A and B are shown apart, each in its own frame.
Chain A
Amino acid sequence: MTTTTTTTESPIPNTAVRAVRRLGTGAPVYALLVVLLAALAITDPGFYEPDSFLAFVKRAAPLVILAAGQYLVIVSGGFDLSVGAVVTAGVVAGAEFYGSYPDAHWLLVTAGLLVAGAVVGLANGLITTRLRVPSFITTLGMMLILEGAVFYWTGGSPQGVLPQSFREFGRGTAGGWLPWAVPACVVVGAAAVWLMRSDFGRTLLATGDSERAANLAGVRVPRVRTLAFVLSGAAAALAAVLVAGFSGVSAQAGRGLEFEAITAVVLGGVLLGGGRGSVVAAMVGAFSLQALFTLLNLQGISGALESTVQGVIVIAAVGLGATGRPGLNRPRRHRSQPSGGTSS
């Protein structure tokens, strides 16, 4: 009757084990963020002045939101490489739109961009799930299509000026001190946490873990995976509105953000290939990445090295994850319970 072997005396207190396990694969990223923030404090004593710290958060916000969207796609077993191009296209489209209709209400334009981002995501999702094109290729193609379209449309130098009302969200503050970016991150974070605890979120994780098992359990796999792309597209559009607020209108506005978002998610311990990871850890990964870039800047290391650093992080995080992660999470009995049979 006994199928398990041990609930043996544990050398580590159970609560500590449980706490680490709750943080799950993301645990290291919290420590990393603390280390980076401490390093920033040492390097730049003024960093924690409210203004300068809030400015940091503001700069980080678009990446944090992109990471939340990217998380949904990665955890369902895909990639979304199109988000950087969506940000660029969103900024440029907003500017062009205001060029034609200078009096449009900012809320209307924002809503329009969110819908457009969702439509791009829908296209990504349908192509990936219905035509069975791997998402890496689908979204890479989408990235090229959007980049080319923006270039064609603007001749390489986008025109138009974004009105103050529209840029308020990205650059302005609530109550005169709190950048709108902060509540934006909090709301997106809360929504993402709620989503991942909902039936949809649990189903999404299971689908990313085993598409076959999910399908046989009645999950509408194409619909679930497509919805992840839609949300990622909408998140990218929201990021575009923030980016438009504090950087100028340019055909480079979102360049490279897709890889920064993937790096952030990986840094958060989310398993590439799907099925495992926490959305909060992914967003904390984005903060950490931004903190790292800031730190490198302060240390006088060229911004040009940012992509090199990212490359190192992605490879290292995935590499360490492949060997280190199981050890962190594995109940000890794994080794003491030899397979001894066809099971396990």
Chain B
Amino acid sequence: MLTMSSVSKSFLGARVLHGVSLDLEPGEVHALVGENGAGKSTLMKVLAGEYTPDEGTITLDGTPRAFSHPVQAQAAGIALIHQEFALLPHRTVAENVFLGREPVRRGLVDRRAMERRTAELLAELDETGIDPRMQVRELSVARQQTVEIVKALAASDVRVLVMDEPTAPLADHEVELLYALVRRLAARGIGILYISHRLREVFDLSRRITVLKDGRKVAALTTAETTPDEVVRAMVGRELRSYYPPRAEPGEIGEPLLTVTDAGNERLTGIGLTLRAGEITGVAGLQGSGRTSLVRALFGAAPFTHGRMTVTGRTLLPGSPRQAIRGGIALVTEDRKAEGLALRQSVRDNALLVTRAVSGVGTREVGGLLERVALRSRGQGQEVRYLSGGNQQKVVIAKWLAARPRVLLFDEPTRGVDVGAKSAIHTLVRELAREGLAVLIVSSELPELIGMSDRILVMADGALVGELPAGAAEEDVMRLATGDTAGPYEGSAA
């Protein structure tokens, strides 16, 4: 149905696509994977008419097409669902769906027709939870995504739907809803190009997988005949021996560096835990279980209101990040851009921020630290906003290493980080533990949490509800996290 052949594209002399070909059949979910910067988005923007290719052709239903504007691509039935939605939060669902194309009757917007048509489209997708008259801001993110898709369906006879990281904004339990929606769209004969770097989704949904690396197609695979390992190898271009570095040997785990007893605040109750030198402690839990509240309390950002805590032998219940830092605690937050970095400042200024802010703490020798975290940048003067997610995270880690902490807390250490940098960060975190730091990791990616941790604490409703040894099964973790102490794991986290 859709064929892109030998598409090339350069920007200012830098070639970002090298003769990439791709075809898509009706009703097929075709996954497009690759690391950040591999060219996925550029390829899709060429398809959607946002960029004009330098070479190569696009054929839709046997007709060669050359789009020079997104509107043309849209009219031809190619719709792109961006990560950021283009919805007006204070307008109704129907108004958003027909934005700019409102049906008119006697010179006035025909609100009824608009709502009726929207309801029909929603019904076709079996989406019963959305009233066309609701304001968009009242909807969950997953439903807003549905509205975005309905908007595309209303605009033209969609043949090809491009979804760019559609699960990125979704909560864990909303992912299943998206899966169902994708399958229904495919069942209607729409070809779906699905961009993701979460391999699990790719294997759950797709029929074929195209792997891009450095602007080239490096593999075209049939999902049923391949394995995640093979896909990762193609993405990274080398063998990843094992995903995670080896765990700590019993002898490597040392004295307790941080102890909390019976601590709590308005979100947390009865927290008691010990972090030991050389050990990586994982904290698992569903969204809203208090994982983030826990690390923020340990770091003094949303302090414990009661309880006892000792850090490296001294009593300290930190009331501010500054106190925690002085006590030797560091926190890599989950929201790197808003909380981890000053995006307009240079690599160097970010790496030195803690050292400069808290006198008497840390080192100013950042050069070695940046090497240690294997930062790829154009130099210490480069503004961090121009770095990839993985490299930004490395700067955050370097910033904390400069403060010479004893206890290192990670909230989602590899969120928004591509596969290669991810494994580098994993190795680094293990090295740091091996050097005698106590490490705590919160991650909603269970394989990561299990792969990295020497033991796993499970949270639910603001309390620690259980502890599991290294290498615990995902099912066991989920069972504790969902409070399902009896019966087998059902598969859905929500």
Contact = CB atoms under 8 A, between A and B. Distances in A.
Contact of B37 (A7, A203, A205, A337): A337
Interface residues of A, number: 47
B12 A11 contact: yes
A4 B395 CA distance: 14
Interface stretch (A52-60, A105-113, A181-189, A215-223): A215-223
A2 B11 contact: no
Interface string A201-222: 0110111011011111111100
A339 B378 contact: no
Interface string A310-336: 000000000000000000011111111
Given A216-B301, A338-B45, A341-B197, A7 B344 contact: no
A270 to B, nearest CB: 12
A217 B354 contact: yes
A1 interface: yes
Interface string B317-349: 000011001100001010000111111110001
Contacts of B333: 216
A3 interface: yes
Contacts of A216: 299, 301, 321, 331, 333, 339-340
Nearest to B421: A3
Nearest to A4: B376
B174 interface: no
B386 interface: yes
Interface string B268-301: 0000000000000000000000000000000101
A114 B261 CA distance: 52
Interface in A269-309: 271, 275-276
B343 A209 contact: yes
A275 B344 contact: yes
Interface residues on B, range: 35 or more
B39 interface: yes
A327 to B, nearest CB: 12
A213 B344 CA distance: 12
Contact of A338 (B12, B39, B341): B39
* Chain A residues touching B, majority SS: loop
B353 A341 contact: no
Given A8-B14, A342-B168, A342-B416, A203 B353 contact: yes
Contact of A3 (B11, B37, B359, B382): B37
B41 interface: yes
Contacts of B144: none
B238 interface: yes
B470 interface: no
B357 A344 contact: no
Contacts of A175: none
A2 B41 contact: no
B41 to A, nearest CB: 3
A205 B16 contact: no
A332 B11 CA distance: 8
A5 B16 contact: yes
A206 B389 contact: no
Nearest to A1: B420
A6 interface: yes
A210 B36 contact: no
Contacts of B343: 209-210
B356 A341 contact: no
A333 B415 contact: no
Interface in B299-314: 299, 301
A4 B388 CA distance: 6
A9 interface: yes
Most buried by B among A276, A332, A343: A343
Nearest to A224: B357
A8 B333 CA distance: 33
B434 to A, nearest CB: 21
B35 A3 contact: yes
Contacts of A342: 83, 165, 168, 197, 389, 415-416
Interface in B347-363: 349-350, 352-354, 356-359, 361
A339 B416 CA distance: 11
Contacts of A9: 13-14
A9 B16 CA distance: 13
B16 A338 contact: yes
B342 A210 contact: yes
Nearest to B299: A216
A329 to B, nearest CB: 8
A339 to B, nearest CB: 6
A103 interface: no
A218 B165 contact: no
Contacts of B349: 202, 205-206
B37 A218 contact: no
A31 to B, nearest CB: 22
A3 B41 contact: no
Nearest to B356: A199
A213 B391 contact: no
B345 A340 contact: no
Interface in B377-411: 377-378, 381-383, 386-392, 399, 403
B322 A220 contact: yes
Closest 6 CB pairs of A and B: A343-B389, A338-B41, A209-B342, A1-B420, A5-B37, A343-B416
6 contacts: A1-B238, A205-B345, A217-B325, A218-B325, A340-B41, A343-B36
Interface of A: 1-9, 11, 21, 199, 202-203, 205-207, 209-210, 212-220, 271, 275-276, 329-344
Given A215-B321, A218-B354, A343-B416, 7 more contacts: A206-B353, A213-B342, A217-B353, A218-B325, A276-B344, A332-B12, A343-B418
